[in-house]
């Protein structure tokens, strides 16, 4: 039925904000500035919290002894300094009566509440002789036309702005809420919802914006949080199903003989922790389901050897393998180590970084495409460049870095996509030059798709707390190298207070005098520390300063100038380390400069590096035995552990000295975890407990977390439920392609399509 032409059409969810009834252009602009450009977005703007609001009444109607809410004009104010506590008094009138307001110990209010101001106040009403009084009432300035609500209720408090107040947002939403919720499509089937006792999406939104009770707020929260988690998990499982269903990787051969030949290349026996992971990898790589495995292990646990095992397995089946490192210098280091381990064998190893140029580069690329290189080592740029492989079977990404979960997923997904493109090319290439080496498929009735993607292994030294790892990496299998190779001298870690700095540096100097080297880490580069972090908040490159952990308020506490590289360099050169060769290293230096400094340090031509966390990803310098961290209280525990991994790589005993500011709440206790434990997992769990999981998604400033309502810590149970449900769902319906899943799939792709690289799924 068409509506009569003179009747305005009711708004739908896509109706622009300025076309909504009752929204003037000023308000529309202010809402648009918050990103609320249409009705759908407006209704998706959820309150941060709810406040109990007593029904408003005139002063004359108020009953002493009750929590009351009223409004009026401030007619007089005065600060009072007699008595035990200073207090601020004000008089409120509304034409029906007079109410005395008093706030204790809040004299700053005299700058905020002036005679003539219109305010709403709420508090417990007391009779004081003939007078009515509210002590320490909640108060807020009132807009001229802000309506009074005579009913008691839970008032939503919205994220607002200078231009538009929470109550105005509330008023706008209230005006269109019913029209909006009537159109919110449900994407969960009714029985599914009922079984889990979840309200409909429309009900959930209504209950968030206009709750009848605390219970409704909780129910709405539960539904919306569950939705987010379910979507995320569905996305993860969908991706996995897609990979498994549509792509094939080369199934590699494995035998006792191959195993022996590979192991003979290592100068040591693998630890049983490494053996376990090798077994996982062998299981993966001998099938044609593309592997997607995260190999996590503490710094120094021996991940590279395990990766090399996987790569040699590819070579044994006459395929190629690639190892990608986050920096050129690390790629060079990997290349040198692998070339050394494979010296005298027939395996052809090559390096491809930005530094390999000209005819040499041409040659490497050509040989790679012809299959004359078995193992290529390069930077992550190998992923993005159009490098043609002859037959890439195993791609190892050495991350060595604390990417947030979010970034890691993106990297992996990007990696997967790029690598697929690469190997598609190689297939095209291979088919014209010579027959492909993949197994014959003739024996099967339905021909298997040809190998088109490599197995992907990601190595990381950033342990993901067990509780979260399983949940967030539904699409990644995880193997953990959970013990260090034998014969390591543990690093001695000490937490000291700033008044022991002189001793700490005296000790460090002794080590330098003995011919050893040191890292000295500070939170920022120069005095513009805060600004610095904002320089490139999205930079996820290794060593990016944006990863520096911040604790609220730590900036303002930082007195003195020892938080930054430049100032500390000066101080050390003039005093404690006078005469020593020290150099600065930080993310604002050019990459070449950085690598040059690192190279000189490795060669022993620099005694101490004064650095930011760029050194977190680093080259092995066995002679570096001291790690000193200034303002250690400003770093996350996992990050400190990672930093500490820079030392303890040689035979000599290593030391880690954490200078912590005792003024920071719990700082020393937090740091003590590091002194007590050398286990990255224990530390990561503690870190999670202390800081919450938000940061795992990457830097909070860049808004990387896809979760708006759910909180991974608080909503752990919902998370477990969402994970179980998502797995079962995708098992039943691997592509979410049923007609009744259309809304769900659309929303899923909208929410996580980009993050999870689901572009080719929908």
Closer residue to Mg ion in complex, CB, 304/353: 304
Whole-angstrom Cα distance, residue 190 to residue 584? 62
Sort residue 757 into left (φ over 0), alpha (ψ -120 to 50) or beta: left
> Which residues does residue 92 pair with via DSSP β-bridges, in sequence order?
74, 99
Q: Which is nearer to Mg ion, 304 or 317 (CB)?
A: 304
Closest CB to Mg ion among residues 240, 649: 649
* Cα–Cα distance measured from residue 132 to residue 100, given in angstroms and rounded to the nearest whole number: 6
3-state SS class at 216: helix
Residue 383: φ, ψ to 5°? -70, -35
Smallest gap from Cβ 342 to ligand ADP, in A, equals 14
* DSSP codes joined into one string, 435-446: ---SPP-TTSSS
Say how far apart CA 89 and CA 135 lie, in whole Å.
9
Judged by CB under 5 A, the chain residues 295 through 324 that form the site for Mg ion are 304
Q: Decide: 643 and 543 in contact? Cβ < 8 Å.
A: no
Return the one option of Mg ion, ligand ADP, none that residue 305 interacts with (CB less than 5 to 8 A, by type).
ligand ADP
**What does the block give as tokens for 507?**
């000790």
Minimum distance from residue 297 beta carbon to Mg ion (Å): 9
Q: Which does 72 bind (CB under 5 to 8 A by kind): ligand ADP, Mg ion, none?
A: none
Nearest approach in angstroms of CB 267 to Mg ion is 16
Question: How far apart are the two ends of the chain, measured CA to CA in Å?
Answer: 33
User: Residues in the site for ligand ADP, rule: CB under 6 A?
Assistant: 268, 270-271, 274, 297, 299-305, 461, 485
C-beta of 401: minimal distance to Mg ion in Å?
11
Q: Residue 297 binds which one of Mg ion, ligand ADP, none, with CB within 5 to 8 A depending on kind?
A: ligand ADP
Sheet holding 655-659, edge to edge: 492-496, 655-659, 624-629, 517-521, 608-611, 582-585
**Residue whose C-beta lies closest to ligand ADP:** 302
The smaller minimum CB distance to ligand ADP, of residues 97 and 300, is found at 300
Site string for Mg ion, 257-296 (x = CB under 5 A): ----------------------------------------
Residue 485 contact, options Mg ion, ligand ADP, none, Cβ 5-8 Å cut-off depending on partner type: ligand ADP
Q: Which does 407 bind (CB under 5 to 8 A by kind): ligand ADP, Mg ion, none?
A: none
Which distant-in-sequence residues (6+ apart) come within 8 Å of 55 by Cβ? 69, 149, 150, 151, 152, 153
Q: Which does 622 bind (CB under 5 to 8 A by kind): Mg ion, ligand ADP, none?
A: none
Distance CA 680, CA 703 (A): 26
Instruction: Rank residues 461 and 722 by Cβ distance to Mg ion and give the closer one.
Output: 461
Count the site residues for Mg ion by CB under 5 A: 1
Taking the least distance from each CB to Mg ion, the nearer of 236 and 299 is: 299
* Nearer Cβ to Mg ion (359/486): 486
CB 522 → ligand ADP: shortest distance, Å?
A: 24
Distance CA 415, CA 249 (A): 15
Read off φ and ψ for residue 435, nearest 5 degrees.
Answer: -65, 145
For the bound state, the minimum distance from the C-beta of residue 400 to Mg ion, rounded and expressed in Å, comes to 6
Token pair belonging to 539: 């930079």
Which does residue 123 bind out of ligand ADP, Mg ion, none, counting CB within 5 to 8 angstroms by kind?
none
The encoded tokens of residue 128 equal 């004081």
Residue closer to ligand ADP, measured from CB, 485 or 537: 485
Nearest distance from C-beta of residue 648 to Mg ion, angstroms: 14
Cβ 676 to Mg ion shortest distance, Å: 25
User: CB–CB of 461/262 below 8 Å?
Assistant: no
Report in angstroms how near the CB of residue 285 gets to Mg ion at its nearest. Answer: 20
Residues 143 and 167 sit within 8 Å (Cβ to Cβ): yes
Residues that bind Mg ion (CB under 5 A): 304
């Amino acid at each position: 039925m068409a509506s009569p032409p003179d009747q305005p059409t009711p708004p739908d969810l896509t109706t622009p904000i300025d076309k909504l009834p009752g929204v003037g252009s000023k308000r529309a602009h202010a809402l648009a500035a918050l990103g609320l450009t249409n009705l759908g977005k407006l209704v998706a703007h959820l309150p941060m919290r709810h406040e109990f609001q007593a029904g408003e009444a005139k002063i004359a109607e108020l009953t002493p002894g009750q929590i009351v809410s009223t409004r009026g004009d401030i007619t007089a104010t005065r600060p009072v300094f007699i008595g035990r506590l200073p207090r601020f008094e004000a008089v409120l009138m509304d034409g029906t009566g007079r109410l005395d307001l008093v706030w204790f110990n809040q004299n700053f209010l005299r700058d905020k509440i002036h005679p003539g101001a219109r305010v709403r106040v709420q508090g417990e009403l007391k009779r004081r002789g003939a007078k009515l009084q509210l002590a320490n009432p909640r108060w807020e300035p009132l807009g001229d036309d802000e309506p009074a609500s005579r009913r008691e209720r839970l008032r939503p408090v919205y994220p607002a702005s200078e231009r538009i107040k929470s109550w105005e947002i509330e008023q706008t939403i209230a005006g269109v809420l019913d029209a909006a919720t009537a159109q919110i499509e449900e994407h969960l089937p009714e029985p599914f919802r009922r079984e889990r006792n979840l309200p409909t999406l429309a009900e959930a939104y209504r209950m968030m914006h206009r709750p009848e009770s605390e219970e409704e707020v909780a129910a709405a929260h539960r539904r919306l949080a569950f939705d987010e988690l379910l979507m995320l998990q569905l996305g993860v499982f969908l991706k996995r199903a897609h990979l498994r269903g549509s792509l094939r990787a080369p199934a590699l051969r494995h035998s006792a003989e191959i195993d022996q030949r590979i192991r003979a290349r290592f100068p040591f026996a693998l630890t049983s922790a490494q053996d376990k992971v090798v077994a996982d990898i062998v299981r993966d790589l001998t099938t044609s389901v593309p592997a997607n495995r995260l190999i996590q292990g503490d710094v120094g646990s021996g991940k590279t050897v395990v990766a090399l095992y996987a790569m040699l397995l590819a070579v044994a089946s006459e395929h190629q393998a690639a190892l990608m490192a986050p920096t050129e210098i690390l790629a060079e280091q990997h290349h040198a180590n692998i070339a050394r381990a494979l010296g005298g064998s027939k395996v052809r190893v090559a390096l491809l970084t930005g530094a390999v140029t000209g005819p040499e580069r041409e040659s490497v690329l050509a040989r790679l495409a012809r299959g004359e290189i078995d193992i290529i080592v390069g930077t992550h740029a190998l992923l993005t460049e159009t490098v043609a492989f002859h037959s890439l079977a195993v791609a190892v990404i050495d991350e060595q870095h604390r990417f947030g979960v979010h970034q890691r997923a993106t990297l992996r997904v990007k990696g997967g996509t790029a690598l697929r493109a690469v190997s598609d090319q190689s297939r095209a290439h291979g088919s014209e030059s010579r027959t492909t080496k993949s197994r014959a498929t003739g024996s099967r009735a339905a021909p298997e798709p040809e190998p088109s993607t490599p197995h992907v292994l990601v190595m990381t030294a950033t342990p993901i707390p067990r509780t979260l790892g399983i949940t967030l990496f539904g699409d990644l299998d995880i193997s953990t190298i959970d013990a260090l190779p034998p014969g390591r001298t543990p690093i001695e870690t000490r937490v000291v207070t700033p008044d022991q700095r002189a001793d700490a540096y005296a000790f460090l100097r002794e080590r330098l005098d003995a011919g050893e080297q040191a890292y000295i880490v500070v939170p920022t580069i120069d005095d513009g520390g805060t600004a610095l972090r904002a320089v490139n908040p999205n930079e996820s490159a290794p060593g990016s300063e944006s990863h520096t952990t911040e604790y609220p308020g730590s900036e303002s506490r930082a007195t003195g100038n020892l938080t930054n590289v430049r100032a500390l360099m000066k101080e050390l050169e003039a005093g404690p380390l006078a005469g020593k060769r020290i150099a600065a290293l930080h993310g604002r230096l050019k990459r070449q400069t950085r690598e040059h400094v690192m190279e000189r340090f490795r060669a022993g031509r620099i005694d101490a590096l004064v650095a930011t966390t760029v050194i977190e990803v680093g080259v092995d310098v066995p002679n570096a035995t001291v790690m000193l961290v200034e303002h250690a209280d400003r770093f996350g525990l996992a990050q400190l552990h990672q930093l500490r991994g820079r030392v303890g790589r040689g035979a000599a005993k290593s030391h880690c000295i954490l200078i912590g500011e005792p003024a920071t709440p719990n700082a020393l206790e937090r740091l003590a975890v590091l002194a007590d434990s050398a286990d990255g997992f224990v530390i990561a769990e503690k870190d999670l407990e202390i800081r919450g999981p938000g940061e795992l998604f990457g830097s909070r400033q860049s808004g990387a977390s896809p979760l708006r309502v759910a909180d991974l810590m608080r909503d752990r149970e919902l998370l477990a439920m969402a994970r179980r449900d998502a797995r079962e769902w995708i098992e039943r319906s691997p592509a979410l392609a049923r007609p009744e899943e259309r809304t769900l799939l659309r929303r899923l792709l909208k929410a996580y399509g980009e993050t999870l690289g689901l572009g080719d799924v929908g």
